[in-house]
Structure 1
Amino acid sequence: MANRHRGEIDAELGGRRRTLVLTLGALAELEAAFAASDLVALAQRFGSGHLSARDLVRILAAGLRGAGETVSDDEVAAMTVAGGAPGYATIAAELITATFGEAAA
C-alpha cells in the first residue's frame, strides 16, 4: 500500500496494482530526460499542462523504477491503463502531485 507521506501512489498499470514514487534518483532521471536544470524547472515543465505520450511514459517508468520495479520505458509504453490516454495522464498527475504538491499538477 502506498504511503502518501513519502510521495507514493498506487495505480493499476498493465493489469496489476503497482506502487510508484519519484525518488531523488527518479527525479534526477527525469531532469536529464527533460533537460531541466533543476527541480523547479522540472516542476514548471510538469505544471505547463503540455505533456506528450512519451513524457507520460518517462514519468510513469521513473515512478515505477523509483518504487523498485525493474522496468524499461518500452515496457511501460506497452502497459494498458483503464481509461486510455486520460488514464495515463491521471496517474502521472497524481504522481506529480504526490511529489511536488498541487501547484505542479
Structure 2
Amino acid sequence: MTNAHRGEVSLVIDGMERTLCLTLGALAEIETALGASGFAALADRLKTLSAGDLAAVLAALLRGGGEADAARTLVAAQLDFAEAARAVADAFERAL
C-alpha cells in the first residue's frame, strides 16, 4: 500500500503492485542518468523520454520506493508503458 503523503505512487509490474517514490537520491540518480542539471533542465528532458530513459527513471523511483529487487529486473518485466509514464509523472507531481 502506498503512502500519498510521502509522495509514493503504485505501478503494477509483472502483475505485482510496486511502490515508486521520488526521494532525493532518486532525483540525483535521474539527473545523472538523463544528463540534466537542475530542475528546469530535468523538466525539459522528461518531456522526451526514450524507452531506455523511462527504464532508468522507473528504476530510480523503484529504489526510492524501497523496491530495489524490482528495479534490478525491470528491463525484463511486463508492464504497461502508458501506465508507467503516468506513474512517473504522478511521482514527480506528488513530490514537487
Conservation of the 8 A alpha-carbon contact between 2:63 and 2:71? no
Q: How does 1:1-105 map to 2 (within 5 A)?
A: 1-46=1-46, 48=47, 50-71=48-69, 75-81=73-79, 87-100=80-93
- Cα deviation, 1:19-77, whole Å, max 9, x if unaligned, reads 1111110010010011111122112211x2x2111011111111110011223766111
The CA RMSD over aligned residues, in Å, is 2.0
Mapped contact 2:10–2:17 kept (Cα < 8 A): yes
More helix by share: 2
Q: What is the TM-score normalised by the length of structure 1?
A: 0.76
Q: Which amino acid aligns with 2:22?
A: L
Moved segments of 4+, more than 6 Å: none
Any idea what SS the aligned residue of 1:99 has? helix
Q: TM-score, normalising length from structure 2? A: 0.82
Question: Distance between the aligned counterparts of 2:7 and 2:33, measured in 1?
Answer: 20
Tell me how many residue pairs correspond in the alignment.
94
Q: What is the DSSP-based 3-state SS (H/G/I as helix, E as strand, rest coil) of the residue aligned with 1:11?
A: strand
Residue ranges of structure 1 left out of the alignment (5+ in a row): 82-86
